[in-house]
Amino acid sequence: MSEDRPIDNAAVPETGDEATAPATEPAEPAEPAGRRRLTTLLAIAAVLFGLDLLTKCLAVALIDPGESVPIIGDFARFTLVRNPGAAFSMATGMTWLLTLIAAAVVIGVIRIGRTLRSLWWAIGLGMVLGGALGNLVDRIFRYPGPLQGHVVDFVAIGWWPVFNVADSAIVCGAILLVALTVFGFEPDGTRSGRKHTGEETA
């Protein structure tokens, strides 16, 4: 008398294509988000740095000191100013200290950029980095000498102090970073309070 027994599939040898098919190769890991954000940060900084350098060279070559070139009447104009101070002609007697601060900002932004996961933080820090590099190059290489160089400013709007592309990038980037902080957007891509609220709801 024979007994019906279930067939053990593990004991049946594989035949045909199933036996000869090569094992599927594991997919290559995607590029880390932090590396992509750092690339974005550096790209934005490079564009702004290049734009700042180009416009300063054109201002020095085309505008005479003291000359005012109107853009929109007397409200907006080009005028060449050598600024020994910070953005918008502040702290004019502390050029060497401002140079060291700018160098520290550049190093700090690059260190933070290596851990970024947020696109908006990468944009804001890229703007700050590009502007800081633009003015730092002036302080190192322009007259009257290293760490004492005067920054080239050439845009005058209304009553606002004369500024340049680097100043605009620093201020706009700083405003963006403050807004991100106020609204709870973290550099790692999360939003503060969201996780806690979700746990309470669950």
d(C-alpha 38, C-alpha 44), whole Å: 10
Kindly name the residue from 4, 74, 167, 188 that is annotated as catalytic.
167
Kindly name the residue from 8, 17, 138, 153 that is annotated as catalytic.
153
E strands, 12-163, are 68-72, 76-83, 151-157
Angle at 82 between CA 76 and CA 86, to 5 degrees: 90
Helix (H, G, I), strand (E, B) or coil at 13: coil
Phi-psi map region of 23: left, alpha, beta (phi>0 left; psi -120 to 50 alpha): beta
167 noted as active-site residue: yes
Residue pair 154/56 in contact (Cβ under 8 Å)? The answer is yes
* Residue type for position 143: Y
Nearest to residue 136, comparing CAs of 154, 150, 125, 155? 150
Residues 6+ apart with CB under 8 A from 128: 105, 109, 169, 170, 173, 174, 177
Residues 6+ apart with CB under 8 A from 53: 134, 137
Which residues are annotated as catalytic? 153, 167
